[in-house]
Structure 1
Amino acid sequence: MWYIVFLFIIGLNVLFNYSINKTIGYPPFLFSLVWFIVIFFHFLCHTFDLVTIFELSFKALAIYTLGVVLFTLGGLAIKLKCKFEYVDSTESEIFLVRKNIDVVLILISLIFLPFFIMSSYRLAIEYMIYDSLFAGLRNSSVQEQDVGFSKYGINFSYVSFFLQSYRYVRNRENKFKVFLSAFILLIYCILSTGRTFFILYICLFFGVLIVFNKLKRKYLIYGILSIIILFATIGILLNKGGSTENSLIENISGVLESFMVYFIGSLSAFDSFLNSNYTYTYGQNSFRFIYSMLYKIGVVEQKPIDLVDQYASIPFDTNVYTIYKIYFQDFGLLFMMIVIFSMALLHTFFYLKAINDRKFINTFLYSIMLYPLFMSFFQEQYLSLLPTWIYLISIVMVFKNFLTIR
């Protein structure tokens, strides 16, 4: 089977990327490892009929492997080109926050929160399904409804949580503020209903731990368990793989099957798309944010492409297609290769900068890019979330002038 051949090639990339850096935080290592694990699980599920799913074609496996190779080459190019001088003076340096700007960020997050809660409740009532407020809230987001201006509160909350995490890991102080900012962000993430909000949450904290070389095995276990518990809980609340009316055994069985479907379904969905008669959309997917702005101001008449993709039958229905679909649909193979290689260059650059100088901005940029990397097997998030990245980076750039090292 072609699975074995391509898994062997990807496995070589995993070993190579680890051998040249010897740390798990190296982006090409993480990217290749994620894809090895997901394709391996797809192979197991298809071979042993653990989940009824179509076999991956040679073409799809070749694309997935090419992506891993390109990411490896991009990381290697930066590693060979950029020779950073390692500086480890964090033991004697103190990270200072002037003008109580960390408190200001917490207060801004809190000011937005009541409006976020009230708007979320209104949408949950208006779009209620399954007699569940939570399912109704999720349905409202599927219908592209949002909570209005209060949605920007979550961006401030992400930055606030990252700042407190960075300060705590570096200086070992202000534990109360870490927990407070974490709790506020947790409320935002729960009301946002999407599992992906929690993934970014975890990536921000793990990014700091990686940069300061404090990512212990127990933190990895806690992170994995948190993702599984959150996935299961949200699935049950949304009647996806479980239900509050089912028994514990039924919910466990349903959640496990749902988890595997989410974990590997996107690979077969992209395979189905790749072998279909698709037409090029020339940037309407990758640069939807720009098209949307142009549409709102009347420059273009064509309505932006829907955020929610069409479903593919593989044979179960899914509407996530890995990182690759929108690149292929917009401009084809060459565009995909350029984007993947560019993201490898960018992420590896920020990683090397962060582990060498451990500065706040470099650590932040490395950490937020972990999210689209880990989500690459599921859906594209580098360009699709461009507005979010702009908001987060803008907030950091405004407040970074109040951060100093002594």
Structure 2
Amino acid sequence: MFEALLLVTFIGFVLANHSRLGTGNPYQIFFFVWLTVYTGYYLTRDLFIRIDDSFVFVTLVSQYFALFLLIISYLKSAGITQAQKAPDLASIHLNKWFYYPLFFLVVLGAYPTYLKAIELANGQSIFTIIGFMTLRNTITYEDRNFGVYGYLTPLSIIVAMVSAVGYRNRQILLPYFLVSLGIALFYCYMATGRTFILMLFCFVFMPFFIAKIFSRTSLVMTGVIFISLFLFIAGMTGKGISFDNTTAQNIRTFQENIVGYTTAPFVAMSQLFSTFDRPEYGQNSLRFFFAVMQKVGMADVQSVELVKDYVMTPFPTNVYTVYEVYYRDFLYYGYFIPPLFLLLHFWLYRYAVVRGGRWIMFYAASTYPLVMVFFQDQYFSLTSQWIQMIFWLTLLCVRSRTGRSQM
């Protein structure tokens, strides 16, 4: 049965790469990610615990549903001409009245955020492994955080994103882009999660990728930089590499962690599927709204914890793919929710290629949770951040006088 799952996913990937849909369309990303995960599991399945056939069947039905949505979107894409297959970055006009104040806000806010990070690390330097891990554990497991400074991390990513496009469109000078990128990396570092590095990578890289203006050399260089940053954070958290190990040891443990990080969530989801049978009806997917109602006293509801318990696959992991929160809430029906997000992604994609402007930025930002489907839910689980980012992008990107019209 698993071979059928591989086949359906492969067919979806092939169809998603048809020129009629365009480069960087959401189905291309979705089926590529899952084809990678399923192939990785199939080739290394002897390393993992056995997954149940019923779990594979439900996953297969969900992939069939995604393939069905792909076919519908393929037929709907007939109205897009070949000239419109790639978004026009020139249609993005930077609102400098908001850009410069927000740019200097994230720059000036870096130092007090750094001081707050040292406080959360119990006075230790966050540039040491011990200090960095203390900061990470404080944020993850204790009821302490950056407070208002925490809002600067998503803002810094947005500023870096619009700076990259603004520099390409000759609307700002190179130093602004370089400083914004460096500051965003610093905020991501203080956030201690490698997912923030991936978010920054998606936000900055995707507008150029879907616009087909990335050369092969720049693509390779970008990938090398991203992997280097990812490995650096891995070393600081003691996962994958260690500065005390030999190169051969680091390569071996890094390979094991790559397998564990990309495939273990899928296997962990199979364990949750086999043991969890009481739906929680929105407590996980709508956690943000329950937390807000609890905060303002509208409801006496205890919001669920975002950080879950570890399971052994046998690789230890506490992430269960994008399907976890929806399965916890709606059991089998929850498996049809993530594929439905593809319709929203494709709608944004169509607007990006047809109307341009800020819609390019909206779609590029939306690819981050799509890339993370193999790992964990980044849709409703990041509701607060998405509200912030949509707001900032709306302020910073306006109608271009020279590009395509936008809605």
- Considering the TM-score relative to the shorter chain, is it more than 0.5? yes
Is 1:258 paired with 2:269?
no
Match of 1:68 in 2: 63
Is contact 1:35–1:377 with CA below 8 Å preserved after alignment? yes
Is 1:123 paired with 2:120?
yes
**Which of 43, 46, 53 lines up with 1:58 in the alignment?**
53
Match of 1:272 in 2: 271
CA distance in 1, matches of 2:165, 2:15: 30
Give the paired residue count: 398
Is contact 2:23–2:86 with CA below 8 Å preserved after alignment? no
Is contact 1:78–1:349 with CA below 8 Å preserved after alignment? no
CA distance in 1, matches of 2:327, 2:87: 44
Match of 1:405 in 2: 401
User: In structure 2, the residue corresponding to 1:320 is in which secondary structure?
Assistant: coil
**Structure 1 position 22, deviation (Å):** 5.9
- Amino acid in the other structure paired with 2:355: D
**Structure 1 position 293, deviation (Å):** 1.0
User: In structure 1, the residue corresponding to 2:374 is in which secondary structure?
Assistant: coil
- Amino acid in the other structure paired with 1:333: Y
**Structure 1 position 343, deviation (Å):** 0.9
Flag the 1:131–1:182 CA change in 2: closer, same or farther, 3 A. Answer: closer
Is contact 2:90–2:169 with CA below 8 Å preserved after alignment? no
CA distance in 1, matches of 2:19, 2:295: 48
- Amino acid in the other structure paired with 2:381: S
Flag the 1:289–1:127 CA change in 2: closer, same or farther, 3 A. Answer: farther
Structure 1: give runs of 5+ residues left out of the alignment: none
Superposed counterparts of 1:289-328, under 5 Å? 289-328=288-327
CA distance in 1, matches of 2:144, 2:73: 41
Match of 1:385 in 2: 382
**Which of 333, 337, 340 lines up with 2:338 in the alignment?**
340
**Structure 1 position 365, deviation (Å):** 1.2
CA distance in 1, matches of 2:38, 2:101: 45
Is contact 2:94–2:171 with CA below 8 Å preserved after alignment? no
Flag the 1:95–1:363 CA change in 2: closer, same or farther, 3 A. Answer: closer
Is contact 1:326–1:380 with CA below 8 Å preserved after alignment? yes
Flag the 1:182–1:220 CA change in 2: closer, same or farther, 3 A. Answer: same
Q: Can you list the C-alpha shifts for 1:369-389, whole angstroms capped at 9, x where unaligned? A: 111111000111111111100
User: In structure 2, the residue corresponding to 1:125 is in which secondary structure?
Assistant: coil
**Structure 1 position 399, deviation (Å):** 3.5
CA distance in 2, matches of 1:294, 1:127: 36
Structure 1 stretch 244-253 or stretch 187-196: which is displaced more?
Answer: 244-253
CA distance in 2, matches of 1:15, 1:264: 22
Is contact 1:17–1:72 with CA below 8 Å preserved after alignment? no
Is 1:142 paired with 2:137?
no
- Amino acid in the other structure paired with 2:340: S
Is contact 1:75–1:348 with CA below 8 Å preserved after alignment? no
Q: Can you list the C-alpha shifts for 1:263-292, whole angstroms capped at 9, x where unaligned? A: 110010000110114321110100110111
Flag the 1:6–1:364 CA change in 2: closer, same or farther, 3 A. Answer: same
Is contact 1:351–1:363 with CA below 8 Å preserved after alignment? yes
Flag the 1:149–1:212 CA change in 2: closer, same or farther, 3 A. Answer: same
- Amino acid in the other structure paired with 2:32: L
CA distance in 2, matches of 1:98, 1:41: 44
Is contact 2:26–2:349 with CA below 8 Å preserved after alignment? yes
Structure 2: give runs of 5+ residues left out of the alignment: 403-407
Superposed counterparts of 1:7-406, under 5 Å? 7-19=6-18, 21=20, 23-47=22-46, 52-81=47-76, 83-84=79-80, 96-125=93-122, 132-143=130-141, 144-171=143-170, 174-337=173-336, 339-359=337-357, 361-401=358-398, 404-406=400-402
| TM-score, normalised via structure 2 length | 0.89
**Structure 1 position 128, deviation (Å):** 9.4
**Structure 1 position 131, deviation (Å):** 6.6
CA distance in 2, matches of 1:67, 1:269: 17
**Structure 1 position 294, deviation (Å):** 1.3
Is contact 2:99–2:396 with CA below 8 Å preserved after alignment? no
**Structure 1 position 232, deviation (Å):** 2.2
Calculate percent identity across the aligned residue pairs.
23
- Amino acid in the other structure paired with 1:280: P
